[in-house]
Amino acid sequence: MEPVLEIRNVSHVYGADTPFEHVALDNVSLTVGRGEFVGLIGHTGSGKSTLIQHMNGLLRPSNGQVLFEGQDVWSDAKLTRRLRFHVGLVFQYPEYQLFEETVFQDIAFGPKNMGLSEDEVRARVLRAAGFVGITEKELEKSPFDLSGGQKRRAAIAGVIAMEPDVLILDEPTAGLDPVGRESILENIRAYQAAQGASVIMVSHSMEEIASNVDRLLVMNDSHLVMDATPAEVFAKPEELVQMGLAVPKVTQVLLKLRELGVDVPASAFTVEQAEKLLLPLLKGGKAAC
Ligand SMILES: Nc1ncnc2c1ncn2[C@@H]1O[C@H](COP(=O)(O)OP(=O)(O)OP(=O)(O)O)[C@@H](O)[C@H]1O
Ligand SMILES: [Mg+2]
């Protein structure tokens, strides 16, 4: 897969040379391929938000390099600026950052900053609104008059409107109900498919991660400790539990069945996969032991 973004031996120290010095990233290396959907998990304070802020140049590494399309983004101010337009970052609870008079103006903020023509800005706002299900009527409203879920969508649209090659989202579904969560995930997948974009998503929900990502990064105490497929990561439940994480509920059920002596592999992490494994057993009456 063609590499888009590379993090090479990046370390980040907050409050260097002060009594509050804290190493939040310790020699982290990874590559994001074009079009990939990558999940990022890790306990609170493990360094996830610090890591993604390096991916769009909001933080500068204390050590190491960040490369976008093969170029060191800190070697030239033009490259750092370019990175910020090509890698879009949606913060946690982004709806708190809505501030314009109308939803339209809010979504237009990023593309305007890129120096695009008025027509192009308008076209992008409409496309981005389409991806997240914001209607033309809602575009003319004040962002403060939208519901919680719609506010979240408007904020995500503001980043999508910049049409980034890499879309990074820090817990995009936090605090939403299950229907709202699934619909935001659908919006993200629609953008990824239409744009051929890479997506990096931080989440605390193992179910959400399991059913969306191609690859999974696991942070623990400032280190990147796993970089593998969800199947490979969830095959190590003890290690995950030690890091304060969990495996998806479905995998927990399969592990329990194995403990009880039922001969099933513990490799499923979505309901659909578990169904394929368990139905034949139930039909054969073997799962009754
Ligand atoms: N601006 C800052 N100044 C000093 N320390 C910071 C700063 N931001 C984060 N830290 C510390 O760096 C460590 C990593 O923080 P970070 O926000 O990257 O973790 P996280 O994995 O995103 O956590 P969470 O799941 O709670 O969002 C934590 O110990 C945090 O207290
Ligand atoms: Mg965080």
Q: Is there a single domain that holds both residue 212 and residue 262?
A: no
Dihedral angle computed from the Cα positions of residues 9, 15, 18 and 19, in that order, rounded to the nearest 10 degrees: -100
| pLDDT at 134 (0 to 100) | 96
Q: Is 251 in the pocket of ligand 1 (CB under 6 A)?
A: no
Domain boundary among 230, 260, 278: 230
Token reading at 177: 């109900």
Same domain, 152 and 272: no
Q: How far is the CA of 55 from the centre of ligand 1 (A)?
A: 16
- 277 and 215, same structural domain? no
CA distance 289 to 281: 11
Assess if residue 76 is contained within a domain: yes
Residue with tokens 């040379």: 17
At 287 the pLDDT is 47
**Ligand 1 contacts CB of residue 170 (under 6 A):** no
Residue 241: inside a domain: no
111 lies in the same domain as 188: yes
**Do 252 and 226 reside in the same domain of the chain?**
no
Q: Which ligand is nearest to the CA of 53?
A: 1
Alpha carbon nearest to ligand 1 atom 25, residue: 44
Give a yes or no: residue 86 inside a domain: yes
Give the separation between CA 58 and CA 81, rounded to whole angstroms: 10
Residues with CB under 5 A from ligand 2 (ion): 48-49
Distance between Cα 221 and ligand 1 center (Å): 10
DSSP output for 215-244: EEEEEETTEEEEEE-HHHHHT-HHHHHHTT
Probe target for ligand 1 pocket from 46, 209, 218, 245, with the most ligand atoms within 8 Å of CB: 46
Residues contacting 46, CB < 8 A, separation 6+? 219, 220, 221, 222, 243
Q: Are residues 182 and 78 in the same domain?
A: yes
Closest-CA residue, ligand 1 atom 6, reads 14
Identify the residue whose C-alpha is closest to ligand 1 atom 7.
14
* Assigned domain for 79 exists: yes
- Whether residues 179 and 136 fall in one domain: yes
Task: Check pocket membership of 47 for ligand 1, CB cut-off 6 A.
Answer: yes
Residues 144 and 73 in one domain: yes
Residues 69 and 200 reside in one and the same domain: yes
Nearest to 86 by CA among 59, 56, 108, 121: 56
CATH number of the structural domain spanning residue 224: 3.40.50.300
Q: Are residue 149 and residue 175 in the same domain, yes or no?
A: yes
Residues 51 and 104 in one domain: yes
Structural domain span for residue 12: 3-230
pLDDT tens digits, the chain, 289 residues: what are they?
Answer: 899 999 999 999 999 999 999 999 999 999 999 999 999 999 999 999 999 999 999 999 999 999 999 999 999 999 999 999 999 999 999 999 899 999 999 999 999 999 999 999 999 999 999 999 999 999 999 999 999 899 999 999 999 999 999 999 999 999 999 999 999 999 999 999 999 999 999 999 998 999 899 999 999 999 999 999 998 999 898 899 999 998 888 888 888 888 899 888 777 888 888 888 888 888 876 544 4
Q: What is the pTM of this model?
A: 0.93
Domain count, the chain: 2
Whole-number Cα distances in Å, 99 to 77, 78, 113, 161: 28, 28, 15, 16
DSSP 8-state assignment for residue 105: H
**Based on the domain organization, do 157 and 254 belong to the same domain?**
no
Which of 14, 53, 200, 225 to probe ligand 1 with, by most ligand atoms within 8 A of CB?
14
Strand pairing partners for 3? 33
Would 190 be classed as within a structural domain?
yes
The CB of 222 under 6 Å from ligand 1? The reply is no
Residue 5 near residue 55, CB atoms below 8 Å: yes
Tell me the C-alpha to C-alpha distance, in Å, between residue 65 and each of 36, 74, 195, 214, 227.
21, 8, 27, 25, 19
